[in-house]
A and B are shown apart, each in its own frame.
Chain A
Amino acid sequence: MAGLELLSDQGYRLDGRKATELRKVQARMGVFAQADGSAYIEQGNTKALAVVYGPHEVRGSRSKTLHDRAVINCQYSMATFSTAERKRRPHGDRKSTEMSLHLKQTFEAAVLTNLYPRSQIDIYVKILQSDGGNYSACVNAATLAVIDAGIPMRDYVCACTAGFVDETPLADLCHAEESGGGTSLALALLPRGGHIALLQMDARLHQDHLETLMEAAMTACKGVSKVLDEVVRQHLQEVSALTGE
């Protein structure tokens, strides 16, 4: 594509990263006292907040109740000031509904829902600042929030995006790279077993490259899982040290 060079000859991307380098991930659990579980994550310039309520009785229509497991209810919304162009509606548009469905699908694979029959777990994610990798930031924040709420999961759910430029896979795309028109693959992974919870790819890609791209995304996810694990351990240390005093 003319103008914007996503990968320079020396191997540097638009923001100076190398092809397999992830953006800086900073996270914090337990940011809100009123919710059952909450977490905040910053992946580069993308900021996401996740809040978990539950497990509690199914609100609204009783017909949604499942007799053998919990219902997971997700809502994805973006703050109106999160994007460069002001967004008029925070949620309710098609994109947000689709993302909510994806989040629901992802967490149904990871959360041990059969431990909580006839109940509901609410996961609400809010994007405060959007700079690419919205879905991944949401999944990572929601994982931390679910852990903070004390809801048992099979494994961490880590997500990352990957792209493909000049025969090279790029890990963790920013907004300019995503909207550049190239391939963009979003992957949600359960790192220990290597199981994939969600896989989504837009744009054309030759089938020979799919394997490489998925490998790159899985490696990136494993990198993210290390950071999340560190955050959880640090949080537990802080909480136990302070309550122990």
Chain B
Amino acid sequence: MFPVSHMEMYIRADLLVSGRTHAVFQCLCSMATVQVSEAEKVYILHGVRDDLRVDGRGCEDYRHMEIETKMVSNTDGSAKVTLGHTDVLVGVKAEIGKPRPMVPDEGYVEFFVDCSANATPEFEGRGGDELGMELSNTLYKVFNNRYSVDMKSLCISPGEHCWVLYVDVLLLQCDGNLFDAISVAIKAALFNTKIPKVHISEDEEGGKEIELSDDPYDCIRLNVENVPCIVTLCKVGHRHVVDATLQEKACSVASLIISVTHKGTVTCVRKVGGGSLDPESIFEMTETGKRVGKALHAPLMELLQKEESLGKKRQKVGFLEEQKVHSRKSRCETGPFPLPKNPGLGHLLCSA
């Protein structure tokens, strides 16, 4: 048994019956766009119709995903997720603040998405602000319920002090399917977050003094069981695909974003894109989204717990690992998880 430096996940779900006929036109995408010719679009459409995408995946398969936590030491929790070529880094900082007047006995979470110029030169200066706002607004909607993050555990003294979790998402590379990568990274970062324990002492005048515990191991961990994962489904032709690349997105009519918890509870559903969807398609996409989303949680939690249990033995690799493009072969061989049922597809997933 050798210590693994980063964890890899393979997601496999069953095929779905095809959807309805519908006119196809290009949807406007505010992310980095790729130009797809008409012939390429037809090729992708025909492939998806036969449940064979350009990189060999099925309609409900994710690309190769890599997750690593504790990347940045200045934060209370951090995680980096690489999904295909999409790179997302999330840092969580916990600060003491005043609770909201409506809910004095709860803490709250603030999201900020930074679309950095690293991803594409279009995001330079204020160019990435629009996409960043859209992403953070959706994240607020996804987490705007009582069950995702236990806000009551973030309370220090009701009405006066509470923990505010600042979740900062940094988008480093953009290759489609940002929501899924961001939600997995947020879940991993929240799992990794260690909030120091607080002791409240009263001084003579009745004013409260807050002391943070000095011991780095004396901390509270968040319960991320109910944190949802977002699944984006793109309607390409008659069928819909999970984890679309930029090329597939350019051929799609519209997409549906659905956030699902491990029990299968849906916290947010949004339709994005310039095309229109008929209610049957939306229903089918919701069903697929629920199934795929539910299947995402168990391996993810298992992975995170395994990574944590390695403790000090884990080598922190981060960006210093070997070239991804070139060390495909070595990655497949050292993958600690059993390959999916279809070994041919598994290999393709590896090298995607």
- Name A's B-contacting residues (CB within 8 A): 26, 28, 30-35, 38, 40, 42, 45, 47, 49, 51, 53, 59, 73, 75, 77, 79-84, 86, 90-92, 122, 124, 126, 128-130, 238-239, 242-243
* B172 touches A (CB below 8 Å): yes
Assembled-state Cα–Cα distance A34/B85 (Å): 8
Query: A42-B320, A75-B124 known; A90 and B114 CB under 8 Å?
Result: yes
For B174, what are the chain A residues with a Cβ–Cβ distance below 8 Å?
Answer: 34
A40 touches B320 (CB 8 A): yes
- Whether A79 and B73, one on each chain, are in contact in the complex, defined by CB atoms closer than 8 angstroms, is no
State A30–B72 Cα separation when bound (angstroms): 20
Given known A42-B320, A45-B73, A128-B72, contact A79–B117 (CB-CB < 8 A): no
Residues of A contacting B92 in the complex (Cβ-Cβ under 8 angstroms)? 81
Closest 4 CB pairs of A and B: A81-B91, A40-B319, A124-B117, A242-B326
Q: Quick one: closest A residue to B90, CB to CB? A: A81
* Chain A residue contacts of B321, Cβ below 8 A: 28
Contact A33-B85, Cβ < 8 Å, known A77-B117, A79-B114: yes
| Residues in B40-74 with C-beta less than 8 Å from chain A | 71-74
B173 touches A49 (CB 8 A): no
Q: Smallest CB-CB separation from A241: which chain B residue? A: B326
- Known A77-B116, A122-B121; contact A82-B175, beta-carbon cutoff 8 A: no
With contacts defined as CB atoms under 8 Å apart, how many contacts are there between chain A and chain B in the complex? Answer: 106
Contact A26 B320 (CB under 8 A): yes
**Residue B89 CB within 8 A of the other chain:** yes
CB distance from B103 to the nearest CB of A (A): 22
- Could you jot down 15 A-B contacts, CB within 8 Å? A30-B323, A32-B87, A34-B175, A35-B173, A42-B320, A49-B319, A53-B121, A79-B114, A81-B72, A81-B168, A81-B170, A83-B74, A92-B125, A128-B72, A239-B326
0 or 1 for each of B306-339: is its CB under 8 Å from A? (1 = yes): 0000000000000111111111000000000000
**Alpha-carbon separation in the docked complex, A40 to B320 (Å):** 7
Q: Which of A75, A80, A243 contacts B117 (CB 8 A)?
A: A75
Contacts of B175 in A (CB 8 A): 34
Q: How many whole Å from B325's CB to the nearest CB in chain A?
A: 6
Closest A residue, CB atoms, query B75: A81
Nearest chain A CB to B79's CB is how many angstroms away? 12
CB-CB under 8 A for A129 and B118, given A42-B320, A49-B172: no
Interface contact B320-A129, CB-CB below 8 Å: no
Q: CB-CB < 8 A to A83: which residues of B?
A: 74
**B side interface size, CB within 8 A:** 40
Complex contacts, B126 vs chain A, CB 8 Å: 92
Complex formed: what's the CA distance from A242 to B323 in Å? 10
Listed residue (B319, B324, B327) with the most chain A CB atoms within 10 angstroms of its CB = B319
Q: Which residues does chain A contribute within 8 Å of B124, judged by CB atoms? A: 73, 75, 122, 124
B166 nearest in chain A by CB position: A86
* Docked-complex contact A81 and B117, CB < 8 angstroms: no
Known A33-B324, A81-B93, A238-B323; judge A51-B78 contact (CB<8 A).
no
Does any Cβ of A come within 8 Å of B112's Cβ? Answer: yes
Alpha-carbon gap, A213 to B333, bound state (A): 52
User: In the complex, are the beta carbons of A81 and B74 less than 8 A apart?
Assistant: yes
Given contacts A32-B87, A79-B89, A83-B74, 19 further A-B contacts (CB under 8 A): A32-B118, A34-B119, A59-B121, A75-B125, A77-B114, A79-B72, A79-B91, A80-B170, A81-B93, A86-B93, A91-B125, A92-B125, A122-B124, A124-B124, A126-B116, A126-B118, A126-B172, A239-B326, A243-B326
